[in-house]
Amino acid sequence: MSKESWLPTLKTDTPEEGYDLAVKLARKAVGMTQPDENVRKELRPVYANNADSLTFASQVVAINFQTVAAANNYWNE
């Protein structure tokens, strides 16, 4: 496991950190598809001001959170 990995583990100490990791996972694929940070910054106001785009972003976080939560056995012990 490389120290430089952006994703060394799916384990987190708390559900909240797990949720943050889900957000990170959602954003990573966006960055891999559009590597230009300037373009991503220009797009941000587009979807941050559109109701359906915000729901869509929340959906992808929800899917990733399913994965992270399962990986942590839902933080039950």
Number of residues this chain uses to bind a copy of itself (CB under 8 A): 55
- Which DSSP string do the residues of 25-61 spell out, in sequence order? HHHHHHHHH---HHHHHHHHHHHHT-HHHHHHHHHHH
User: Binding a copy of itself by CB under 8 A: which of 3, 37, 38, 46?
Assistant: 46
15 lies in the binding site for a copy of itself (CB under 8 A): yes
For residues 15 and 75, the answer to whether their CB atoms sit within 8 Å is yes
25 lies in the binding site for a copy of itself (CB under 8 A): yes
For residues 19 and 58, the answer to whether their CB atoms sit within 8 Å is no
Residues within the interface to a copy of itself (CB under 8 A): 1-2, 5-11, 14-16, 19, 23, 25-30, 32-34, 39-40, 43-44, 46-67, 69-71, 74-76
